[in-house]
């Protein structure tokens, strides 16, 4: 399953595998090198208590977004293929 279960936008019948990448937080306690608005080199140090790992909080958010996207595509497919047909009331002559 090197394609993640999707080939050409169509499920191959295998498990769909999804992976995400997160950037590291900018509020780590290690001093970092940067520049100010004038272009002078400065050393930045974040003070205070900040969460060094967003992966724990990002996982349920990513799962919820994936569920929303999958349901959106499922509903679009139903609408485009006329799977939803509302009942029609007959018109009296």
Provide the pLDDT for residue 49: 65
Residue 80, pLDDT score? 86
Give strand pairing partners of 35.
41
Q: For residues 86 and 3, what is the distance between their CA atoms, to the nearest angstrom?
A: 38
Place of tokens 């609408």: 79
Taking the C-alpha atoms of 38, 39, 40 and 45 in order, what is their torsion angle to the nearest 10 degrees?
Answer: 100
Q: What is the pLDDT of residue 64?
A: 96
Domain ranges (residues) in the chain: 24-80
Q: Is the pTM of this model over 0.75?
A: no
φ, ψ dihedrals at 86, nearest 5° = -70, 150
> Residue 17 in contact with residue 5, Cβ under 8 Å?
yes
The pLDDT of residue 42 is 92
pLDDT of residue 74: 87
Ordered mean pLDDT values, 10 residues apiece, the chain (93 residues): 77 84 77 89 80 81 93 88 74 78
């Amino acid at each position: 399953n090197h394609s993640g279960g999707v080939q050409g936008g169509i499920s191959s019948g295998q498990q769909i595998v999804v992976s995400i990448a997160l950037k590291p937080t900018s509020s780590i306690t290690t001093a970092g090198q940067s520049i100010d608005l004038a272009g002078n080199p400065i050393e930045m140090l974040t003070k205070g208590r900040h969460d060094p790992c967003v992966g724990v909080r990002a996982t349920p958010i990513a799962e919820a977004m994936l569920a929303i996207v999958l349901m959106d595509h499922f509903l679009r497919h139903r609408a485009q293929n006329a799977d939803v047909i509302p009942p029609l009331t007959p018109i009296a002559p």
